[in-house]
Amino acid sequence: MVAQVVMPQVGITTTEAKIIQWLKKVGEKVTKGEPLFEVETDKATMEVEAPADGFLVRIDVGDGATAEVGRVVALIADSPDADISSVSPASKVEKALAGQGEGTKAEKEPDAKVGEKEPAKAGRDKFRITPLARRIAKEAGLSNEELANIKGSGAGGIINKADVLSYLEGKKAAQPPAEARRPASAQAPRPVAKEEGDQVVELTRMRRAIAQRMCQSVLEAPQFWLGVNVKVDRLLEFRDRVNQLLPKEERITVTDMIVRACALALRAYPQVNATFTEEGILLKGRVNVGIAVAIDEGLIVPVVKDADKKALREIAAARRELVKRAREGVLSADELTGGTFTVSNLGMLGIDEFKAILNPPEAGILAVGQTQSALALIDGRVEEYKFVALRLTLDHRVVDGALGARFLSEVRRLLEEPYLLV
CATH number of the domain residue 332 falls in: 3.30.559.10
Residue-level pLDDT at 149: 86
Same domain, 156 and 285: no
Kindly tell me if the per-residue pLDDT of 417 is higher than 80.
yes
**294: number of Cβ within 10 Å:** 15
- Pick the residue with more confidence: 421 or 94? 421
Distance CA 369, CA 390 (A): 7
pTM score of the predicted model: 0.65
Kindly tell me if the per-residue pLDDT of 105 is higher than 80.
no
Asked if the structure places residue 194 within a domain, the reply is no
Parallel, antiparallel, or unpaired for β 274-277 and 72-77?
unpaired
Asked if the structure places residue 322 within a domain, the reply is yes
Last residue in a domain, options 77, 110, 143: 77
- Pick the residue with more confidence: 122 or 36? 36
Q: Residue 151 is part of a domain; what is its CATH number?
A: 4.10.320
Domain that holds residue 29: 2-77
Cβ–Cβ under 8 Å, residues 337 and 13? no
Same domain, 361 and 279: yes
Distance CA 85, CA 389 (A): 62
Same domain, 154 and 294: no
Same domain, 27 and 152: no
Asked if the structure places residue 314 within a domain, the reply is yes
- Pick the residue with more confidence: 210 or 74? 74
Average pLDDT over residues 3-23: 79
Residue-level pLDDT at 400: 96
Asked if the structure places residue 98 within a domain, the reply is no
Distance CA 416, CA 411 (A): 9
Asked if the structure places residue 20 within a domain, the reply is yes
Kindly tell me if the per-residue pLDDT of 317 is higher than 50.
yes
Average pLDDT over residues 392-410: 97
Residue-level pLDDT at 192: 79
Kindly tell me if the per-residue pLDDT of 125 is higher than 50.
no
Mean pLDDT score of the chain, rounded to an integer? Answer: 83
Residue-level pLDDT at 234: 97
Q: Residue 66 is part of a domain; what is its CATH number?
A: 2.40.50.100
Average pLDDT over residues 227-239: 97
Q: Please, which residues have CB within 8 angstroms of residue 360's CB and are 6 or more apart in sequence? A: 213, 216, 217, 220, 221
Residue-level pLDDT at 64: 87
pLDDT above 90: percentage of residues in the chain = 49
Q: What is the DSSP string of 271-319?
A: TTSEEEETTEEEE-SS--EEE-EEETTEEE--EETTGGGS-HHHHHHHH
Residue 289, sorted as left (phi over 0), alpha (psi -120 to 50) or beta, turns out to be: beta
Residue-level pLDDT at 14: 65
Asked if the structure places residue 39 within a domain, the reply is yes
Choose from 205-209, 219-223, 226-230, 358-362 the range with maximum mean pLDDT: 226-230
Asked if the structure places residue 330 within a domain, the reply is yes
Same domain, 154 and 63: no
Same domain, 387 and 316: yes
Hey, which residues are catalytic here?
396, 400
pLDDT in tens, 137-148: 877 778 887 888
Residue-level pLDDT at 185: 46
Same domain, 22 and 148: no
